[in-house]
């Protein structure tokens, strides 16, 4: 985790001699978000000082006011709504976190499975709580006649009773006539291989239809949420539609494009994200169950992935660069080292090593512009190890090149910097426009109002003289200098 500690000291701790002092708002962001951690679902730090990050969302207007195009179930809802499988409430909501009852689940599962209901409105049911004029009657009738569901010993069907994950997966498997066998090992830590629902769980896991919660457990007996059910039905429908064996877990993740440093990648919905001033990015999965809600240390169910860009100033070819990486690592024979091609066709070097309490997985990828994208990950060996390993690998596979500002003519940015000289409150914004600033000197006495920092940009061949207390660019000069 040494690279994370360096990232922290350099980008967040302003007392560190190599700190980037323009990161003060960034430090405040981290402290504030730490205090608000319990409320945080997905924090993407969009700095207003020139981090040209773009998040790739859907282009279709959301049909439900509580499921926007950044919601984890958005694509599933669009897919199933277009096929007239689902509908929301009169107030325009879908309520994805609300538990789904037996009647609602049957409708979604049957319609999502392409079951036809012509001439199925008439029939007789022995359930005392299901009448012919109930909206759910045809679904209960069909499912009962086919043997997909059954009632309770007292003659009730209990349509308003919440359904759990295990029950829903059994119905789906019976409808699909899946040929299932008992798994050889426990599919999840709370799913015994001998349990009646283990074959259904094993099937759904193998297809990537389901995933464990943040504590590493599946909770098969807990009430199933509406959003979780439609996600399962959508994924299964997607696989059948395209003839695919298992669902790509990264398919609908949001893509983060760092155009300033010419790369993009996708991040899981339940991971947090932060960006530093040097093009560095931190993605992490919290382990709240073990009181670990940060990214600096690896705990049982946590994971951290740090992203860097190596500008390859020596202009090494891919083979020589990878050779240098291996020479500097000095890993033992217990390491896994392989050359691979990522999903975008880029040459990559994969390094993986298992330690006592964590696994380290690093991927070095050659981008088309001659730079190298470095993604260094650590994840714990708790109940979530298998799932975190899959997520880390999926994130790393999505790394790709995007044309960025770092390759463009800096003249327009230089002109903007000159116009901001002596304009209070604009210093941070101007500093953020330069993708490669290096702090070359600090005058702690300054001009009487506060310390003065000198930042140099190789890209623009320009030094900026910055005064902290008034957040102002005092002057700019060509070349690398502090002699203003």
pLDDT exceeds 50 at position 370: yes
Strands 254-258 and 347-354, bridge-based pairing: unpaired
Residues in CB range of 19: below 8 A, 6 or more apart: 9, 10, 11, 12, 13, 439
- Residue-wise pLDDT tens digits, 258-281: 766 788 899 999 999 887 666 688
What is the Rg, in whole angstroms, of the alpha carbon atoms belonging to the chain? 27
Please give, one letter per residue, the 3-state secondary structure of 412-439. Answer: HHHHHHHHCECCCCCHHHHHCCCCCEEE
- Order of strands, sheet of 452-457, starting from the edge strand that comes earlier in the sequence: 437-443, 452-457, 462-467, 472-478
User: Up-side HSE of residue 75: CA atoms within 13 Å toward CB?
Assistant: 16
Higher pLDDT, 432 or 83: 83
Q: Is residue 166 classed as helix, strand or coil in its secondary structure?
A: helix
Per-residue pLDDT of 276-318, as tens digits, reads: 666 688 999 988 766 666 677 889 999 999 999 998 989 999 9
Those residues whose C-beta lies under 8 Å from the C-beta of residue 132, and which sit 6 or more positions away, are none
pLDDT tens-place string over residues 109-167? 999 999 887 655 567 888 999 999 999 999 999 999 999 999 999 999 999 999 999 99
């Amino acid at each position: 985790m040494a690279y994370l500690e360096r990232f922290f000291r350099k980008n967040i701790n302003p007392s560190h001699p190599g700190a980037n002092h323009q990161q003060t708002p960034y430090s405040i962001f981290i402290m504030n978000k730490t205090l608000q951690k319990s409320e945080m679902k997905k924090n993407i730090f969009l700095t207003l000082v020139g981090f040209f990050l773009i998040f790739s969302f859907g282009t279709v207007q959301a049909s439900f006011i509580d499921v926007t195009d950044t919601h984890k179930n958005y694509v599933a809802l669009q897919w199933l709504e277009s096929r007239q499988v689902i509908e929301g409430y009169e107030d325009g909501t879908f309520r994805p976190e609300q538990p789904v009852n037996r009647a609602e689940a049957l409708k979604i599962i049957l319609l999502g499975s392409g079951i036809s209901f012509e001439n199925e409105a008439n029939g007789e049911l022995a359930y005392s709580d299901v009448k012919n004029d109930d909206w759910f009657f045809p679904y209960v009738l069909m499912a009962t006649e086919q043997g997909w569901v059954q009632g309770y010993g007292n003659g009730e069907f209990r349509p308003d009773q919440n359904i759990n994950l295990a029950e829903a997966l059994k119905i789906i498997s019976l409808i699909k006539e899946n040929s299932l066998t008992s798994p050889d090992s426990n599919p999840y830590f709370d799913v015994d291989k001998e349990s009646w629902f283990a074959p259904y769980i094993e099937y759904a896991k193998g297809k990537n239809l389901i995933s464990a919660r943040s504590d590493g457990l599946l909770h098969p007996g807990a009430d199933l949420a509406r959003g979780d059910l439609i996600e399962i039905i959508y994924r299964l429908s997607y696989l059948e539609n395209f003839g695919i064996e298992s669902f790509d877990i990264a398919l609908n993740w949001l893509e983060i494009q760092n155009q300033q440093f010419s790369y993009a990648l996708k991040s899981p919905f339940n991971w947090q994200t932060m960006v530093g001033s040097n093009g560095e990015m931190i993605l992490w999965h919290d382990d709240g169950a073990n009181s670990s809600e940060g990214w600096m240390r690896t705990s049982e169910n946590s994971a951290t992935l740090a992203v860097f860009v190596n500008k390859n100033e020596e202009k090494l070819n891919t083979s020589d660069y990878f050779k240098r990486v291996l020479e500097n690592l000095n890993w033992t024979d217990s390491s896994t080292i392989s050359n691979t091609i990522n999903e975008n066709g880029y040459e990559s070097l994969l390094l993986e090593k298992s330690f006592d309490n964590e696994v380290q997985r690093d991927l070095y990828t050659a981008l088309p512009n001659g730079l190298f994208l470095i993604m260094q990950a650590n994840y714990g060996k708790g109940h979530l190890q298998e799932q975190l390993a899959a997520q880390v690998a999926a994130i790393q596979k999505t790394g790709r090149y995007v044309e960025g500002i770092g390759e463009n003519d800096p003249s327009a940015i230089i002109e903007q910097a000159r116009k901001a000289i002596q304009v209070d409150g604009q210093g941070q914004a101007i500093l953020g426009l330069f993708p490669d600033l290096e702090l070359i000197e600090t005058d702690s006495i300054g001009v009487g109002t506060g310390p003065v920092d000198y930042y140099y940009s190789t890209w623009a061949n320009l030094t900026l003289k910055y005064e902290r207390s008034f957040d102002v660019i005092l002057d700019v000069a060509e070349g690398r200098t502090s002699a203003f």
